Chains A and B, each alone.
Chain A
Amino acid sequence: MEKIPILRMGDLLLVTIQVDLYDRLAETLESDLVLMIKKTGAQGVLIDISAVSIIDSFMGRIIGNIATMSKIMDAETVVVGMQPAVAITLVELGLPLNGVLSALNVERGMELLKGKIALKGASFEDDEDGYPE
């Protein structure tokens, strides 16, 4: 069976979706990713959907679900590289994915995640100054 690889990069998990998602694949990804977060204790998840050209309401919900699940497991999720057509479709479907962070490309997404994680770490260690830099 096809599977979407989940790569570990330090504190982060990297998911690149290279094929058009179908329902079963998306569900597998959802459960795999939650397991992986638990196993690695990852602080952030980066999902690259630049190769996804078709999306429906189910897939939109799965992405939203993944973000919410990661959040309650204390990992931030960033969706990167969404294509304009996909963004328009999601908005028209009434799924603006409010809880999900997004970034234009992997590089920006990585920066965003690192910033978030640093912020979180800093607020635990140093209550006076939220900005570590």
Chain B
Amino acid sequence: MKNQSIKVLQGKKKHVLETWMKFQLSDESLREDLMSNEELRIQSEELLDAFLTNLKDDTIDDPKSSAFEAVVDILSGISISRAKQGFTPRETGIYIFSLKDALLNILQQEIKDPQELYVQSLKINKLIDSFGVVTFETFIKGREEVILRQTDEISEISTPVIRVWDGILALPIIGTLDSSRTQVVMESLLQEIVETGSSIAILDISGVPAVDSLVAQHLIKTVSATRLMGAECIISGIRPEIAQTVVHLGIDLSQVITKSSLASALRAAFQMLQLTVVKKQRVQSITE
């Protein structure tokens, strides 16, 4: 004998979809700005289709059965795309749980025996709850992917080596300097020194929020490596707070050339290369 709720639900598929859509559309948190109603309808129909087709006597008690793989796949897809589109977890949750409301609603209308209704509701409840868990899992996974990608991007874009003058490189460091970033910074700086044949490198730390003894050690390492390559290294952008912490921590930066701003570091670099910057007008007035 076929399970009663399966028969009812499969027979009333259209009705279920309508009820579900009604629930979704009537909810306050509906995001029409992120997804149009037609899209939502297509998505919902696809999911419901997969769900009802695979809803059989032997699978209704077992949400992990292989028959529901298609459903889980569709759900994961929806969940990840929603995470990337910027839906809140609440909105995604309401999406799947409103399906439960719709299913129970239909069952209530069709099954008259209270005992039977209770048993069937419990089964549907369990099934949809486990789908809800899957949804949240994939939703969070989707979000984590976004975060991971952003972390990678940040560490890539945050260490550009800039050639400010012939023979002078600048490296503005933005964000906290940990050992893995120091490694990236050091490698890209040294590589660039070799490629451009530069003799002076300016490390600008005005974008580093805090300098502790570890960060200072990383900085000193970078300076030492640059020196070993035969180039001079200037640290610029030392803010007053940083100067205070450095002295309070007892870090010795006396071996390193330090300047308060990138401009003064550049001036020092010009001096080392015996270059001068002269105003154009003055040159003209001399030649005239």
Q: Does B225 contact A (CB under 8 A)?
A: yes
Say yes or no: A80 contacts B224, CB within 8 Å: no
The answer, yes or no, to whether A91 is at the interface (CB within 8 Å) is yes
Looking at the assembled complex, report how far the CB atom of B192 sits from the nearest CB atom of chain A, in whole angstroms.
Answer: 9
Interface assignment of B236: CB less than 8 Å from any CB of chain A: no
A109 within 8 A of B: yes
How many residues in A have their beta carbons less than 8 Å from beta carbons of B?
19
Which stretch from B53-61, B94-102, B227-235 is at the chain A interface?
A: B227-235
Determine which of A96, A105, A108, A109 lies in contact with B228 in the assembled complex, contact meaning CB atoms within 8 Å: A96
Contact of A82 among B186, B197, B199, B228 (CB under 8 A): B228
Contact assessment for A82 and B187 in the assembled complex, using a CB-CB cutoff below 8 Å: no
Q: How far in angstroms is the closest Cβ of chain A from B197?
A: 6
A-B contact count (CB 8 A): 55
CA distance A83 to B187 in the complex (A): 11
Bound Cα distance A96, B219 (Å): 13
Residues of B within 8 Å of A102, CB to CB, are: 227-230
Of the candidates A88, A104, A105, A108, which one forms a contact with B186 in the assembled complex, judged by CB atoms under 8 Å apart? A88
A87-B197 in contact (CB<8A):
no
Majority SS of interface residues in chain B?
helix
A102 to B190, CA, bound (A): 14
Mark out the residues of chain B between 214 and 257 whose CB falls within 8 Å of any chain A CB in the assembled complex: 221, 224-231
The docked-state distance in angstroms from the alpha carbon of A96 to that of B220 is 10
Residue from B194, B197, B229 whose CB has the most chain A CB atoms within 10 Å: B229
Contact A91 B228 (CB under 8 A): yes
Q: Are the CB atoms of B229 and A87 closer together than 8 Å?
A: yes
Q: Mark B260-273, 1 if CB is under 8 A from A, else 0.
A: 00000000000000
Q: Which of A84, A97, A103, A105 has the most chain B CB within a 10 Å cutoff?
A: A84
A45–B205 Cα distance when bound, in Å, is: 36
Contact of A91 among B197, B199, B225 (CB under 8 A): B225
Is A104 within 8 A of B225, CB to CB? no
A90 located at the interface, meaning its Cβ lies under 8 Å from any Cβ of chain B in the complex: yes
Query: In the complex, are the beta carbons of B199 and A84 less than 8 A apart?
Result: no
- Expressed in whole angstroms, the Cα–Cα distance for A108 and B186 within the complex equals 22
Contact flag A96-B230 (CB < 8 Å), given A104-B197, A108-B199: no
Measuring CB to CB, which residues of chain A are less than 8 angstroms from any residue of chain B? 79-80, 82-84, 86-88, 90-92, 96-97, 102-105, 108-109
- A-B pairs with beta carbons under 8 Å apart, 27 shown: A79-B228, A79-B230, A80-B230, A82-B228, A83-B194, A84-B187, A84-B190, A84-B191, A87-B226, A87-B228, A87-B229, A88-B183, A88-B187, A90-B225, A90-B228, A91-B186, A91-B224, A91-B225, A91-B228, A96-B228, A97-B228, A102-B227, A103-B230, A104-B193, A104-B194, A105-B230, A109-B230
The 6 closest A-B CB pairs, nearest first, are: A84-B190, A96-B224, A103-B230, A102-B230, A87-B228, A104-B230
